[in-house]
């Protein structure tokens, strides 16, 4: 049995995905457009820092990476369609059509995570805030608590 003395905190983490439609590349400029925070807003500095943090802390993944992350199997033994079907069945959080577009490189898929243990206010924000945005160019999903 472990006994802990002193300060105990409830840490949290959040994962998020950014899907770029039509093969576009993720950029700070595009995120700022999506956030729709004007340069004259007092929140612009925060939005700018958040966009920069996201761009610097996500990793682009292909369909095999997504399969391995969500299903934990060996993607080498399966066809793309089999991987997509298993991701949808096991995870359910992604649409089959979007996965097919990621596999065909029509969409680009980026994933990342944040933890409020880091002491970084931006990461804490992502952990505490659910972010679900969809525009013509981008889909952002975050499971903040």
In a domain, residue 100? The reply is yes
Q: Tens digits of per-residue pLDDT, 99-127? A: 999 999 999 999 988 887 766 777 778 77
In a domain, residue 8? The reply is no
* Count of domains observed in the chain: 1
54 phi/psi in degrees, rounded to 5: -60, -50
Q: Exposure string (b/e) for 86-97, b if CB count within 10 Å is 16 or more?
A: bbbeeeeebeee
Listed in sequence order, the residues at least 6 apart from 2 whose beta carbon sits closer than 8 Å to its beta carbon are none
In a domain, residue 81? The reply is yes
In terms of residue numbers, what domain contains 93? Answer: 14-142
In a domain, residue 58? The reply is yes
Provide the β-strand partners of residue 51: none
In a domain, residue 3? The reply is no
In a domain, residue 9? The reply is no
Q: Tens digits of per-residue pLDDT, 51-60? A: 999 999 999 9
In a domain, residue 1? The reply is no
In a domain, residue 118? The reply is yes
Query: Looking at residue 3, what is its pLDDT?
Result: 44
């Amino acid at each position: 049995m472990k006994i802990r003395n002193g300060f105990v905190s409830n840490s949290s983490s959040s994962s998020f995905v950014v899907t770029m439609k039509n093969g576009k590349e993720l950029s700070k400029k595009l995120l700022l457009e999506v956030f729709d925070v004007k340069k004259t807003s007092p929140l612009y500095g925060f939005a700018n820092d958040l966009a920069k943090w996201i761009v610097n802390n996500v990793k682009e993944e292909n369909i095999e990476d997504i399969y391995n992350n969500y299903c934990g199997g060996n993607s080498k033994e399966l066809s793309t369609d089999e991987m997509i079907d298993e991701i949808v069945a096991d995870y359910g959080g992604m649409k089959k059509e979007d996965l097919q577009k990621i596999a065909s490189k029509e969409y680009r898929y980026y994933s990342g995570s944040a933890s409020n243990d880091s002491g970084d206010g931006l990461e804490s924000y992502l952990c505490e805030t659910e972010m679900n945005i969809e525009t013509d160019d981008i889909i952002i999903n975050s499971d903040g608590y």
